[in-house]
Structure 1
């Protein structure tokens, strides 16, 4: 199945999984890349570099031939798509350049934003929301994420106040191993994502951020910083509150996500389904509607759950976790 004539990233990952299941190893996979069937032809036509890594993160095939044998970074692996056979991760697929239909490379606006967001930071206790958001950002292509807890920046090698979740976070983020406090981490950042507590972001820190900074202050009911405190100083401001523009609320996701899962009797909710939900929410807003105060639809927008359910169900079918393949009428 294709979208607009283009093979999706999920479909390429499935082709690779089928290859590994049949061969029991990655030997010979480079022939698949160059055969013109699915991957090779698509990579050449769309100007993409298609990279396949084994379960240890070492490149076993590269459509350009430049990175074979190289060990991919944790950030690269996190941004790629896991290749799984019978529930076991056997490798990863990474697409660089060009455009994929419905995969890791979305519309032009998304690619432009990712190209500009060189460094993202959030201030959080690194609980479930913080780690989940970090994984989603890495899947979308953000390469440089800096996370903080009450003791300061999380980095690989930090010994104090660490746990297994923070160790994972340290292994997969902060590639330059920045150290220090929250004020140090905010220097040069494009995005502040607050998932912590009220009043923890100081207005004067905005001057330390990159130009046209973005602030998502999502602590409720009192955000990390009130919009009035940074009015005219940031490009985009979002909170979790309904009395300000750009309310970011997880209710935008859940009804449609579960509707899509139930419609196809999905046996798993995988990364591709999560990204499909996120892009469906964003896609409700048309290009001519998009502006600084309208980057995300209202929680009362009836188009959202239908769009999310449709795209989640489609992603489930494409990644073969759907147990009901026949299309059904969405119950909204």
Structure 2
């Protein structure tokens, strides 16, 4: 009954007039003849001439500098898989809502019926001039890697696949704090990642850049090692396990176990083999790879995080992408690079270690003082009012320092 009730409420929410979750509101007055003269002909010709002479002036005379395209081909929507571009539109609209709600960024959702990765690349590149950034969403691997890389090479605005790097940033920030609490070092920790899709590979990549040296991954076909002949160019750099390792071998004595797969991907009985004081992130949504309540019973010494909002330590991408783009747009960045991602990791981790403002307790209907840095609070809450100023500022500074900022 609970799921039916949620279904009914969700459908009613989206169907309420006007249908959907986004609308377009003019930012300038258009009520008089004088307004029309400026908004359209003949006045609009003046910014056209300016931009034709200097394309950078589009940031001064249009919405480009605060506008992000949220783009998907509908091939990997949530946990629903290849539902198609149109069926993915509610998710893309939701992403646009979060951009506006958390970072005051305008976003258009664009759903593309693409024939293949090359077609999708060409479509996005063709429409990119009107936007200050491109947020790729719900594109299945391996096409997501190919699309992102090609667009980053072709365009001079940030291109960011949130399912990869957004997830990786939040996981890295949460893991940094969890390892501190468990008195473990990232460089020495054995890290096992169950799931080698877009998120799993990005998590492995960012953790290695931050100093992890013992990071292993598995997919539906087994543990990634160099003896496998079915690995793509994106998987092979992460195939670090010894030949012949099983999932049980990968998990045995692991200090960190991260699931970015599907329900049941982590056998409950393998949790006993984890190292003392482990970190367990089971991030499949809405059903984690392993039952978090049973995991808590079996490993009371573990720090546990999930993607669920009804449990402590929610790893939520809303903590990352709005503020990464806010920082990038504020300095008119040409890209979102590794330095900017690392800055976001540090900013998020530091926020969880600082005192929580009173308004956050009110937003979550919690008693003051109940959110303290510790095993059940290793990452900030999405409604934390400090996220925009702290994370976006750190990202903007990293963009300047690394040379990708226009201003």
Q: TM-score range by the shorter chain?
A: 0.5 to 0.7
SS in 1 for 2:192: strand
Q: Which residue of the partner structure matches residue 250 of structure 2?
A: 185
CA distance in 2, matches of 1:110, 1:116: 15
CA displacement 1:285-313 (0-9 Å, x = unmatched): 22673100000011111111221100000
Unpaired runs of 5+ in structure 2?
A: 1-175, 356-371
Aligned to 2:194: 123
Among candidates 342, 351, 356, match of residue 275 of structure 1: 342
Q: SS at the partner of 2:395? A: helix
| Cα distance in 1 for residues equivalent to 2:208 and 2:182 | 13
2:214 to 103, 123, 144: 144
2:269 aligned to 204, 218, 221, which one?
A: 204
300, 323, 328: which one aligns with 1:256: 323
- Aligned equivalent of 1:74: none
Structure-2 separation of matches of 1:263 and 1:292:
34
Contact 2:331 2:396 survives alignment (8 Å): yes
Higher radius of gyration, 1 or 2: 2
Q: Which residue of 1 aligns with 2:25?
A: none
State the distance in 2 between where 1:252 and 1:129 align.
16
Alpha-carbon distance in 2 for matches of 1:282, 1:112: 16
Distance 1:218 1:292 in 2: 17
Kindly state the Cα deviation for residue 283 of structure 1 after the two structures are TM-superposed.
1.0
Q: For 2:392 and 2:199, locate their aligned partners in 1 and report how far apart those are by CA, in whole Å.
A: 22
Determine if the alignment matches structure 1 residue 165 to structure 2 residue 234: yes
Contact between 1:246 and 1:293, CA under 8 Å: does it hold in 2? yes
Distance in 2 between residues matched to 1:292 and 1:111, nearest whole Å: 9
What secondary structure sits across from 1:179 in the alignment?
coil
**Hey, what does 1:308 align to over in structure 2?**
391
Cα displacement (A) at 1:188: 0.8
Once residues 295 and 117 of structure 1 are traced to their aligned partners in structure 2, the CA distance between those partners, rounded to angstroms, is 20
Over 6 Å off, 4+ runs:
none
Q: CA deviation at 1:180?
A: 2.4
State the aligned residue count.
213
Contact 1:267 1:321 in 2 (8 A): yes
Shift in alpha-carbon separation, 1:298–1:191, aligned structure 2, 3 A = same
State the SS of the aligned residue for 2:185.
helix
> In structure 1, what is the Cα distance between the partners aligned to 2:181 and 2:334?
30
Query: Which one of the candidate residues 308, 312, 323 is aligned to 1:241?
Result: 308
Matched, 1:228 2:311: no
Q: Distance in 2 between matches of 1:112 and 1:205?
A: 22
Would you say the 8 A contact 1:253–1:305 is kept in 2?
A: no
d(CA) in 2 for partners of 1:191, 1:238: 11
Question: How many angstroms apart in 2 are the aligned matches of 1:188 and 1:209?
Answer: 5
Deviation at 1:110, TM superposition (A): 9.2
What is the CA-CA distance between 1:157 and the residue it aligns to? Answer: 2.6
Q: TM-score, normalised by structure 2?
A: 0.49
CA contact (8 A) 1:280 1:308 kept: yes
Structure 1's unaligned 5+ residue stretches are 1-105, 325-332
- 2:376 equivalent to 1:293: yes
292, 314, 319: which is aligned to 2:402?
A: 319
Q: In the TM superposition, what is the alpha-carbon distance from 1:169 to its structure 2 partner? A: 2.1
Which is helix-richer, 1 or 2?
A: 2
Distance in 1 (CA, whole Å) between partners of 2:201 and 2:292 is 25
Query: How much has 1:113 moved relative to structure 2?
Result: 3.6
Q: Name the structure 1 match of 2:280.
A: 215
Cα 1:109–1:189, aligned 2, differ >3 Å: closer, same or farther? closer
Quote how far apart the aligned CAs of 1:148 are.
0.4
Q: CA deviation at 1:274?
A: 0.3
Pair 111,197 (structure 1): closer, same or farther in 2 beyond 3 Å: closer
CA drift at 1:263: 0.4
For residues 143 and 268 of structure 1, the distance between their equivalents in structure 2, rounded to whole angstroms, comes to 27
The whole-number CA distance in structure 2 between the counterparts of 1:293 and 1:193 is 17
